[in-house]
A = this chain, B = another copy of it.
Amino acid sequence: MSIVVVGSVALDSVETPSGKLDNALGGSATYFSIAASFFTSGIKLVAVIGDDFPQEHIEFLCSKGIDLEGLEKVSGKTFRWSGRYGFNLSGAETLSTELNVFENFSPKIPQSYKGSEYVFLANINPELQLDVLRQVDGAKLVICDTMNLWINERKRELLETIKHVNILIINDAEARQLTGEAKVDMAARRILEYGPERVVIKKGEHGAMTLSDKSYFSAPAYPLRSVLDPTGAGDTFAGGLVGYLASTGETSELNIRKAIIYGTVLASFNVEDFSLNRQRSLTREEIESRFCEMQAITRF
């Protein structure tokens, strides 16, 4: 089944204790799409880039079978983000954000994208997320992400978006911030009251959990030996999750659990190198092998 993903395509400059990379490929929709592309070829990207966006990145996305009809190129500079991670690698300090062409981004869903069964609303202004929802009416499963900025500045609109999605994927700090609950489990329960059928909470090195009315599931993170750059881990997680779901076309509890494990595995590869570099050489066999390891480390 096909997935429409709406979000950012960016050029990131990132500094971590392991090194530094300038103007590398980044953006929520990029990380999501590349991760999902390991499971399905029906990924339809909606984003905006400037006329400075390197052709090699377009070719990389293309080579992964991602449909770029909705990737709008406009005059001006591409969205740029620059950040730094400290010793414990949890949470970046933003050094600068240049919205550039992203500032006036107004997602337009191409006709050929309509009828897609899955929609992923990556982290953008919830007003735009709502606008996308109006354009893709009839999707089977809508999954949405957000960030602290929108919880602070657009909470009303965000809650309206959340009411209309099937699955909210959010990190632990955001879940606490959104609900005012100190514990992740309690925050998850509260989020279900906002309307979605299911919430998935990403907990970084502590793994992920999901809650629906009927079920609870907890998965550890993959045990990493080294982390080079955590940028994009959350979007990569979501890409693995939704990509696997779409490839199987099945949303049973068991399948969603497997999808969370695939998301975890994809994220674990992503952080092993800067930008999307690890994904360039990643194979499906490596993914399956780590999926099996996840089973081995959780069985009792």
Q: State whether the Cβ of A65 lies closer than 8 Å to any Cβ in chain B.
A: no
CA distance A39 to B218 in the complex (A): 26
How many copies of this chain does one complex carry?
A: 2
CB <8 Å contact, A227 and B183: yes
CB <8 Å contact, A218 and B217: no
- The one of B88, B203, B260, B261 in contact with A183, judged by C-beta atoms closer than 8 angstroms, is B88
- Residues of chain B within 8 A (CB-CB) of A87 are 182
Given contacts A254-B300, A300-B260, contact A205 B220 (CB under 8 A): no
Chain A contact patch, size range:
20 to 34
CB <8 Å contact, B218 and A205: no
Q: How far is the CB of A184 from chain B (nearest CB, A)?
A: 7
Closest to A291 in B: B300
Closest to A293 in B: B216
- The one of B88, B206, B217, B224 in contact with A203, judged by C-beta atoms closer than 8 angstroms, is B206
Closest to A218 in B: B220
What are 6 A-B pairs at a CB distance below 8 A?
A: A219-B298, A219-B300, A254-B300, A257-B300, A295-B300, A298-B300
Q: A218-B220, A254-B300, A257-B300 are in contact. List 17 more A-B contacts (CB 8 A).
A: A183-B205, A183-B224, A183-B227, A185-B205, A185-B224, A206-B206, A206-B207, A207-B218, A209-B220, A216-B223, A216-B297, A217-B298, A219-B220, A219-B298, A260-B300, A261-B300, A298-B300
